[in-house]
Structure 1
Amino acid sequence: MENMPEHIFKNQGAHLNGHEAREPEKDNGINPRYILDTLMRHWYLFVIFVIMGVGGAWLYLRYATPGYKISAKVLVKDDQKGGDIPGQEILQQLEVFSNKSSVDNEVEILSSRTLMQKVVNNLQLNTSYFVEGRVKETEQYGNLPFALQWLSLKDTIMKTSYVVSPIGKDKFELSGEKGTRTASWNDTLHLHEGVAKFVLTGIPFTRPAYTVKVASVDETTANYQAQLDVRIPNKQVSTIDLTLNARVPEKGEKVLNELLTSYLKASVEDKNRIADSTIAFIDNRLVIVTQELSGVEKNIQQFKQANELADIEAQSKLLVQGTGDARKQLLDQQVQLNVVESLEQYMHDTENSKRVVPSSLIVQDPTFVGLVQRYNTLQLDRERQLMSSTPTNPVIVTMDQQLAGLRADMLSNLASLKKGIEVGIAEQQKNAGALDQKIRQVPAKERIFLDISRQQSIKQELYLFLLKKREESAISKTSNLAIARIIDDAKSDALPYKPKRLLMFLVGVVLGLTLPAVYLYMKELLSRRVKNKQDVTGNTPVPVLAEIGHSASNLIITKTDSRTPVAEQFRALRTNLQFVLSDISNKSVIVTSSMGGEGKSFVSTNLAAVLALSGKKVVLMEMDLRKPRIAERLGLPNHEGFSTYAIGKTSIDALIKPSGIHDNCWIISSGPIPPNPTELFLQARTEELFKELNERFDYIVIDSAPIGLVTDAQILGRYADATLYLVRHGFTFKQQLQISKDLYLQRKLPRINIVINDVKNNSAYGYGYGYGYGYGYGEDNQRKGLLGKRKKRAVLDGK
């Protein structure tokens, strides 16, 4: 009686007081105990799936292509961030040209497609080599016995592959989509992608065949650009970090080092182009000035030979000394005018519009020098931007406009400078006119010689000036350094960054634990039948009175000496039923369910037997007239029963028969199956029968038809004091519990309670009204009884 649930008292109180039964609040909370029991019952699934998950992770790690990160670091000369390269202070004294840089600009150059395409072409990265393994292909690099060298390659090609199989020492077989051919090493082959040749590297062949895959240069460049990451660590430094993702570490290091080499080489070439432009301009002017100087010197020679002059300088010493200062000033002005005219002619030439302007020839005018430096710097920036942009880019167009404006300013400045020089020359010539009056007094030969000597001096000064500037430009070119230097060469990480071994094993374990849990959850969620207590309490407010475990034995399991777990559960049901019917002397219990096969006959028979074991007189009524089973299973005749009594062919005394289960248990069989079972229950003889039975017996157990199919149980319910509604574990549908809910809320049956039937031991059902106690108690008693019999037999044998 200690196992009687509290909600049963509340339920019965509602019926006794005559109030309408109300639906109690549902307990839809999570039952941790049930979840744990369910998981523990299926522990083997978790073990199997964890082993499969870890094994799958191991297989994935075994055959997955690893990825390595190759890193490098570069220091850039940035005037704003103080990234000067050590040792360049001395060289700056010799530099004629200025070329400023920015870290942000260098990042864009390092990320440019043009630079990466140079690396792809230099290393022929569009060609990859693979060898076949047991499961997958593996890329090889650097240790191959041969190499494919492209002599010419088409611009756009589709991905193709060739299989190279060596034949002897001198030949090989080349198989592709177009067929198979045999060729010799170092032969020039005309392939669909271009002209190439296969050359030996001296490494011995270790495989019977090698796969060569060829892709387009553009596609390969795009792929490597996607794998390259160029960034500045922070805004306070002028260093650049480069990271390249690669499948083969050696190949990735080679690519990143080649990228840095090409970048440094390009930065030096930018500086050298300015020096080359200036040197080329000076060389052109030297040719002209040399020819003019040679002509003047030849005229002097001819003049001396014709006039038989030996030392004209001694003869005209005094005159030269008097006119030396004036001639020197005039000479300087004429040299500057010559240079200005040359630069003006260079600036007017449209072919030089996209070239830098030589800035080292004019140093007297700081305004012009400043304009030239700004113009050259903008011209170089425009060429750098063209490496990653097109001429139609708005930035390029803006730079072109700025260049045009600076060029106009320089031409205007040159015009003003030229005009000033011409005014100075005119003034000097005016002064020279006064000296000419004095020179006319000297002999004509000496005057002519002085004119020729003056021309020689002008050309000679110009020649020496150009030689000096050319030497300065050459020294500046040789002193040019790259605007960056490599701090850390390309180096691969020791371990691949993907796949991560620990993470993959962790994912395998998590999947191994998650998948069976999800499977069990979905199985429970999608199940249409009753599987656990929540399925019952969540679908009906009817209280659960008891549960009966699974039994594979015969119909009767509750006997006098029975101590099985199921027998103990029927004893618990008897105890709980006494609380339900505590206020009634003669008690009638009707047993029904939603459909057939839920164990009504089994429960009814054993309930009658366990009540009879308590010393009460019990009658078991087989009132399922449509499909009777009790009498047949008990081996009793069924030619007379309730159906014959209802039509007046059998008396009450003849109707009640011993059941053979217990001396206190009697049975009323169904009799022959009538055509109108429901109408028989409505006759007056049925009411008379129940009145007589209430006087003779303490308990009446009524086995009725399923209430979910016919209304027999509802008609018989008026003769009953309590109702046991059977729910079979794993058999009853969840939606059928709505029938019990309707019966409970509308009070169609008296004192309705649910009995769970056929609960499996391994189902983790979660009930236990006497189940665990009965199991242990019965098992211990049986074991003690067996040991007692063995001891008694041993004593008798000893006597």
Structure 2
Amino acid sequence: MGPQSAQTPSHTGGASETTPPAFSTATTDTTLSETLITLRKRKRILLVFVLLGLIYGIYRAETQPRIYEAFGRIQVRSGSSNEFRVSAVPGMASDSGQRMLTEVAILQSDSLMLSVAREMDLANNPDFLGGNAPSTRASIDDPDVRQRTIHQLLGGLRIAQVQKTELIRISFQSLSPKLASDIVNKIISAYIQRSYETRFSSSQKVSTWLSGQLDDLKQQVQASQEQMLDVQRRLGILGFDPNHSQITASLEQLSTASNDAHIVRIMAESRYRMLSGMDPNTIEGSLEASGAAPSQLNALRAQLATARATLAQMESDLGPNHPQAKAQKAQIAALSTEINTEQQRLVLQAKENFLAARTNQEETAAALEKEKSDAYKLRDDLVEYTIRQREFESSRHLYESLLERLRTAGIEAGLESLEIDVVDPALLPATPTLKPKSTVVLTYLFMGLVAGVMLSFLLESLDTGLRSVAEVESIIELPSLAIIPRFRRSTAEVPGQSTTARNIISLAQPKSQFAEAFRSLRTALLLSSAGHPPKYILLTSATPSEGKTTASTNLATILAQGDARVLLIDADLRRPTVHQRFGLTSKIGLSTLLAGATTLEAAIQKIPEVPNLDVLVSGPMPPFPTEMLSSEAMRQLLDHAGEIYTHIVIDSPPVLSVTDAVLLARQADAVVLVIRHGKSNKHVVRRARDLLLRSGAPVTGILLNAVDVSSPDYYGYYGYSGYSSAGADAETWQSRTDSRSTGDSGEVKR
């Protein structure tokens, strides 16, 4: 393909390498300026709703009915019956604020309204019904009539508590001043009557209930008293005092005696066991140590010792067989026998004392247990007596209390009606109550404005069209290359003007905003790739009728106004329109060239108005357009054209309609997605962008077409409308292109 092959990476399978990075915008927050832009965009809706609110407000101000309002005041106070009030639980009286709210709710109750409507026959009152008397007499007992009458009565009624007081203000609005005052007075009267009847009935119910309770309590008091007397009889005393009971004193004495007997038994047992188990020679010493009564044992032992000493002297002096010695031995034997007898007597005496002490302890403990049993039985009787006495006192106290309250219930029933006082009865109002006309008009004017604003933002949220650069960039995530303003061609034909000059606006009006916008597009495209401007430029759209043919013809014309040679190819083989814009024949074109019936040089057509612009029209419609555009012949055609021309602009079919644009986009250096302002759907455009990016097409950016530059969204974009560049001639443009300048008077703001 020559030296240009490096500039067509799509031809070598590298189209994805030149794909620009994903573009995103951070301007997504709703700001005050965006809100004002939305309101300016929907200014017609705002004006319509404001005008409707103004007209309706004037109508309501002029036709508002002459309504009379009568009011009265009543005082709802605690009353003198509070000190006699029957209250099941003392201290449970309701708070004053809650009580007043309750009374206000009672004044608005359906039952009270029904009684007022029934007594005043409001269902058949023409003044109450707005001057329209029923043809047949209506009955308030009819559910529909009752509901309608009560609803209408509550609609004109206003009841409110006067703050920080016990006063309630009752007012009613009606077309008749007399009816308004009569209804207020009747409501007050019915409320007082209801209050008296309700409280009297309540007190009567309490009295009836108390009378039944008193009969039961009286029987309980009598039964409790009889049970208490039975216990007193069983105790055998009246007015029993447990602090001075004989049984209690005996119990204390027996307890002391039992303790003493226990100690004596322990001491006797200890003495017995000591004497029975010790050495007989030491018994006398143990008795003295224990403090027992002295015995003859020591004296006998002294005599025995003396006798033995005497015997020893005699035996040494007289001999053992001397009669005196033998007599002394007999005396010693007698003393030994007497000592043994005395020892046995002491042990036997200790044992007898021990047995006696033990018997005494046992008998004393038995007596104590018996006394305790009697005391326990007495305690049980005393407990039962106390319980019966308390039951009797409680029943008697409750009976006396209820009897006293029963006597006060009748008095309270007569005092309750005094709690409600009429402070101000309702009088006939002198003048009707009318709202200021200015207030009515301003109210409905404001309501119309609010409704218009709400509808404007609702329509804005439901609008799926792409209408602003910021919205397009944030949703499509691609940069905007240029904004093409809406242009209406004049239907009047200028004599001698060619078809090209008439259809190509950039030729017909080179100093217009339309032409300047395409110069901005030209600048953006030529500076979109670093190192070299794009050679193959493809323009497509998501759906038909978005202006891609207009964009491609005008872009090719602007590119050809310099020294660059430009070829415009109409690749829309299904609905071609390029030849119509230039007034060319379509007998020979792209289809015949791809079919091999002609050559490129024979198929191209010159444009006299733009010498550097050649056009390759679509030619006859082929049976298989997609196969022809994806063929090897198409690739060779583009390679051959790239060697001849500086730029090749391709007008392709819509992306979502057929696959032709996706196939051609892979062979382009720059793909421009044309979006028609207010027509393109954001979801459809996003789908087209995704198809192009997934196919590896080098999507350079978007072109927003047919923009109303007077719209608030684009205020300031074409602020230079009074100034048009006259220096965008071929020489100046060529010099700027060669120097790769980044400045252009029509460059789009990103």
Normalised by the length of structure 1, the TM-score is: 0.51
Q: How far is 1:571 from its partner?
A: 0.9
Q: Provide the C-alpha distance between the structure 2 equivalents of 1:220 and 1:585, rounded to a whole number of angstroms.
A: 84
SS in 1 for 2:618: coil
CA contact (8 A) 1:586 1:697 kept: no
Within-5 A mapping of 1:462-611: 487-491=423-427, 504-533=440-469, 535-553=471-489, 554-559=502-507, 562-584=510-532, 587-611=535-559
SS in 2 for 1:551: coil
- Structure 1 residues 780 and 255, CA gap change in structure 2 (3 angstroms): farther
- Equivalent in 397, 413, 422 of residue 205 of structure 2: 397
Q: Provide the C-alpha distance between the structure 2 equivalents of 1:492 and 1:400, rounded to a whole number of angstroms.
A: 45
CA contact (8 A) 2:552 2:649 kept: yes
Q: Provide the C-alpha distance between the structure 1 equivalents of 2:41 and 2:105, rounded to a whole number of angstroms.
A: 64
Q: Provide the C-alpha distance between the structure 1 equivalents of 2:475 and 2:651, rounded to a whole number of angstroms.
A: 25
Q: Provide the C-alpha distance between the structure 2 equivalents of 1:556 and 1:113, rounded to a whole number of angstroms.
A: 80
- When Rg is computed on C-alpha atoms for both structures, the one with the higher figure is 2
SS in 1 for 2:540: strand
Q: Provide the C-alpha distance between the structure 2 equivalents of 1:591 and 1:110, rounded to a whole number of angstroms.
A: 78
- 1:79-130 Cα distance to aligned partner (Å, 9 max, x none): 5999xxxxxxxxxxxxxxxxxxxx9899799969999999879877675234
Q: Provide the C-alpha distance between the structure 2 equivalents of 1:708 and 1:118, rounded to a whole number of angstroms.
A: 74
**Which runs of no fewer than 5 residues in structure 2 stay unpaired?**
1-13, 84-95, 218-416, 490-501, 728-750
Within-5 A mapping of 1:444-455: none
Aligned to 1:243: 170
CA contact (8 A) 1:228 1:243 kept: yes
SS in 1 for 2:722: helix
Q: Provide the C-alpha distance between the structure 2 equivalents of 1:39 and 1:722, rounded to a whole number of angstroms.
A: 37
Within-5 A mapping of 1:188-207: none
SS in 2 for 1:772: coil
Q: Does 1:622 align with 2:570?
A: yes
Q: Does 1:129 align with 2:126?
A: yes
Aligned to 2:723: 777
Aligned to 1:673: 621
CA contact (8 A) 1:536 1:737 kept: no
Q: How far is 1:591 from its partner?
A: 1.0
Q: Provide the C-alpha distance between the structure 2 equivalents of 1:747 and 1:115, rounded to a whole number of angstroms.
A: 79
Aligned to 1:68: 69
Q: Provide the C-alpha distance between the structure 2 equivalents of 1:217 and 1:711, rounded to a whole number of angstroms.
A: 69
SS in 2 for 1:606: helix
Within-5 A mapping of 1:623-772: 623-743=571-691, 745-746=693-694, 748-766=696-714, 771-772=718-719
- Structure 1 residues 571 and 221, CA gap change in structure 2 (3 angstroms): closer
Kindly provide the amino acid, as one letter, of the partner of residue 72 in structure 1.
Answer: R
Kindly provide the amino acid, as one letter, of the partner of residue 573 in structure 2.
Answer: L
**Which runs of no fewer than 5 residues in structure 1 stay unpaired?**
1-13, 83-102, 140-159, 163-175, 178-190, 194-214, 267-383, 410-480, 782-799
Q: Provide the C-alpha distance between the structure 2 equivalents of 1:780 and 1:651, rounded to a whole number of angstroms.
A: 39
Q: Provide the C-alpha distance between the structure 2 equivalents of 1:639 and 1:222, rounded to a whole number of angstroms.
A: 83
Q: Provide the C-alpha distance between the structure 1 equivalents of 2:110 and 2:618, rounded to a whole number of angstroms.
A: 96
Q: How far is 1:389 from its partner?
A: 6.4
Q: Provide the C-alpha distance between the structure 2 equivalents of 1:138 and 1:729, rounded to a whole number of angstroms.
A: 59
Q: Provide the C-alpha distance between the structure 1 equivalents of 2:448 and 2:673, rounded to a whole number of angstroms.
A: 41
SS in 1 for 2:572: coil
Equivalent pairs counted in the alignment come to: 485
Q: 696-705 vs 641-650, which deviates more?
A: 641-650
CA contact (8 A) 2:20 2:700 kept: no
Q: How far is 1:688 from its partner?
A: 3.0
- Structure 1 residues 125 and 42, CA gap change in structure 2 (3 angstroms): closer
Aligned to 1:46: 46
Q: Provide the C-alpha distance between the structure 1 equivalents of 2:115 and 2:602, rounded to a whole number of angstroms.
A: 113
Query: Quick check: which one's strand share is greater?
Result: 1
- 1:727-764 Cα distance to aligned partner (Å, 9 max, x none): 11233232221234314543621143111111124444
- 1:547-602 Cα distance to aligned partner (Å, 9 max, x none): 21112224301128621111111111111112114422562211111222222221
SS in 2 for 1:719: coil
- Structure 1 residues 622 and 661, CA gap change in structure 2 (3 angstroms): farther
Q: Provide the C-alpha distance between the structure 1 equivalents of 2:454 and 2:511, rounded to a whole number of angstroms.
A: 40
Aligned to 1:375: none
CA contact (8 A) 1:74 1:488 kept: no
SS in 2 for 1:580: coil
Q: Provide the C-alpha distance between the structure 2 equivalents of 1:511 and 1:702, rounded to a whole number of angstroms.
A: 54
SS in 1 for 2:641: helix
Kindly provide the amino acid, as one letter, of the partner of residue 24 in structure 1.
Answer: S
CA contact (8 A) 2:15 2:696 kept: no
Q: How far is 1:701 from its partner?
A: 0.8
Q: How far is 1:641 from its partner?
A: 1.9
Q: Provide the C-alpha distance between the structure 2 equivalents of 1:232 and 1:732, rounded to a whole number of angstroms.
A: 62
- 1:334-354 Cα distance to aligned partner (Å, 9 max, x none): xxxxxxxxxxxxxxxxxxxxx
Q: Provide the C-alpha distance between the structure 2 equivalents of 1:618 and 1:737, rounded to a whole number of angstroms.
A: 29
Q: Provide the C-alpha distance between the structure 1 equivalents of 2:509 and 2:183, rounded to a whole number of angstroms.
A: 89
Q: Provide the C-alpha distance between the structure 1 equivalents of 2:24 and 2:148, rounded to a whole number of angstroms.
A: 74
Q: Provide the C-alpha distance between the structure 1 equivalents of 2:593 and 2:690, rounded to a whole number of angstroms.
A: 33
Kindly provide the amino acid, as one letter, of the partner of residue 29 in structure 1.
Answer: D
Kindly provide the amino acid, as one letter, of the partner of residue 251 in structure 1.
Answer: L
Q: Does 1:161 align with 2:130?
A: no
Q: 118-127 vs 756-765, which deviates more?
A: 118-127
CA contact (8 A) 1:20 1:745 kept: no
Kindly provide the amino acid, as one letter, of the partner of residue 397 in structure 1.
Answer: K
Q: Provide the C-alpha distance between the structure 2 equivalents of 1:119 and 1:598, rounded to a whole number of angstroms.
A: 72
Kindly provide the amino acid, as one letter, of the partner of residue 198 in structure 2.
Answer: S
Q: How far is 1:486 from its partner?
A: 5.2
Q: How far is 1:76 from its partner?
A: 6.6
Q: Provide the C-alpha distance between the structure 1 equivalents of 2:673 and 2:214, rounded to a whole number of angstroms.
A: 103
Identity percentage of aligned residues: 24
Query: Quick check: which one's helix share is greater?
Result: 2
Q: Provide the C-alpha distance between the structure 2 equivalents of 1:137 and 1:764, rounded to a whole number of angstroms.
A: 51
- Structure 1 residues 128 and 576, CA gap change in structure 2 (3 angstroms): same
CA contact (8 A) 2:570 2:578 kept: yes
Q: How far is 1:672 from its partner?
A: 1.9
Q: Provide the C-alpha distance between the structure 2 equivalents of 1:575 and 1:501, rounded to a whole number of angstroms.
A: 61
- 1:519-570 Cα distance to aligned partner (Å, 9 max, x none): 3333333334433445523432222111211122243011286211111111
- Structure 1 residues 499 and 681, CA gap change in structure 2 (3 angstroms): same
Q: Which has the higher contact order (CA 8 A, sep 6+)?
A: 2
Q: Provide the C-alpha distance between the structure 2 equivalents of 1:109 and 1:387, rounded to a whole number of angstroms.
A: 18
Q: How far is 1:138 from its partner?
A: 4.3
Kindly provide the amino acid, as one letter, of the partner of residue 699 in structure 1.
Answer: H
- 1:588-630 Cα distance to aligned partner (Å, 9 max, x none): 2111112222222211110011111233221111222222211
Kindly provide the amino acid, as one letter, of the partner of residue 772 in structure 1.
Answer: G
Q: Provide the C-alpha distance between the structure 1 equivalents of 2:148 and 2:456, rounded to a whole number of angstroms.
A: 52
Q: Provide the C-alpha distance between the structure 2 equivalents of 1:712 and 1:77, rounded to a whole number of angstroms.
A: 92
Q: Provide the C-alpha distance between the structure 2 equivalents of 1:121 and 1:639, rounded to a whole number of angstroms.
A: 95
SS in 2 for 1:569: helix
- Structure 1 residues 492 and 42, CA gap change in structure 2 (3 angstroms): farther
SS in 2 for 1:755: strand
C-alpha RMSD of matched pairs (Å): 5.0
Within-5 A mapping of 1:329-478: 387-388=197-198, 395-402=203-210
Q: Provide the C-alpha distance between the structure 1 equivalents of 2:573 and 2:106, rounded to a whole number of angstroms.
A: 94
SS in 1 for 2:125: strand
